Structure 1
């Protein structure tokens, strides 16, 4: 299948590792010119050296509005107008909602929800003028099925589902689709960290915690970043032009709800 992505310019947030890295790599393989961002130059350099041509990296903390603006403007300067935006961030801290501080809640809001508002705001007007765009938010299944270990993430990612639908309705007349991908248990640095938290809580080893997470999935394994990236890249494609406002679970059947 021709995804119709050759020559498109894509931004991928938090693209130096994990799902963001896999997404940036896959978009580059499809012929996109890709700008990834990450917190450190070293991590970006490592990603660029592995992916090769078609990729640039710019240091950006996506919880910082000034750095988001710089990333977008610098990317446009080097690559041209933005066709595709993939928002993506690491999750807020784990633990009971009763012990989370106001500062942790506010930080989570800035890094999980408000950063998405800022990134879309930075590219949407130009996409509207040109009559084409793809926006995909990489989020989490906790948006649909809250996790007591992840109260901030569960709360804010549910809000991101609403924002996805709102943006999709507003931008659809301009040829822009907006969708979210909700990964389940996926073998990333974040998942390994959560396994460590769970191991401390349950008195088991981190590997045992990872194995338990895998057994919770009907497929009896963790997903890979590449499997999540494949869904994201398809939603960026021309064949996905009639899909918008959806929140796509990619979780091996883990989520039990019907809606």
Structure 2
């Protein structure tokens, strides 16, 4: 299926590993020129090498979305090198794990900056040009915790629904301008964060056995969903928070 986004410019944050890198690869495979950003220079350099295999223009920017100035700089540098951002994939690592009484106010501040304000700033940085051109796609990468409270993830349980609220609000405000915004909610995906939260390979294997499809998900399975939501084929999909969790969530609505 031709997704109709060849030649578009995509900006992917948290793009050096895991779901972010998988999303960048899926977009590059569909013909997008891609700018990836991340905090680790070595991982970012490795990601560029992998992405260049798709034969598209790849640019990398060392940045931390917790920095209030990062979003504007990312949008401007992408525009200078590749052109205005057509597709934004707002992806950041999850906030620290822990129960409510185990996380301090400084942890809350980190979560707000990284997982809520970081996303909001990125959208602010690219949305005006998308609206003026009459075409844009924004995909936020969140978590299943946007739909149901998960144990030992107090910060995520608060931040992820907030992002979902931003997505739903904007979908109604900018849909007539040709901009579509959607939210992806990964479940158990084989990433460094899941390994950390699970507590080892054996625990990870048992976790996979509990998923209805019988295994842990792969980052590329989320990346392909991101690419679809960013595409012309999903032009009537707007404002959704889409679970990609192998059927693990018990939420009906």
Q: TM-score range by the shorter chain?
A: over 0.9
Tell me the alpha carbon deviations over residues 203-249 of structure 1, each in whole angstroms, 9 at most, x when there is no partner: xxx12221222122111100000000111100000010000010101
Matched, 1:55 2:58: yes
Name the CA distance, whole Å, in 1 between partners of 2:135 and 2:194.
34
Matched, 1:154 2:157: yes
Aligned to 1:98, the other structure's residue is in SS state helix
Aligned counterpart, 2:178: 175
Matched, 1:209 2:206: no
Name the CA distance, whole Å, in 2 between partners of 1:169 and 1:65.
26
Tell me the alpha carbon deviations over residues 97-122 of structure 1, each in whole angstroms, 9 at most, x when there is no partner: 11210000111011001111100000
Aligned counterpart, 1:111: 114
Matched, 1:76 2:70: no
- 1:1-259 correspondence to structure 2 within 5 Å: 1-52=1-52, 53-196=56-199, 206-259=200-253
**Unaligned stretches of 5+ residues in structure 1:** 197-205
Shift of 1:149: 1.1
Aligned to 2:95, the other structure's residue is in SS state coil
Aligned to 2:69, the other structure's residue is in SS state helix
Name the CA distance, whole Å, in 2 between partners of 1:154 and 1:213.
20
Aligned to 2:44, the other structure's residue is in SS state helix
**Unaligned stretches of 5+ residues in structure 2:** none
Aligned to 1:193, the other structure's residue is in SS state helix
Runs of 4+ in 1 over 4 A off after TM superposition: none
Number of residue pairs matched?
A: 250
Name the CA distance, whole Å, in 1 between partners of 2:251 and 2:174.
28
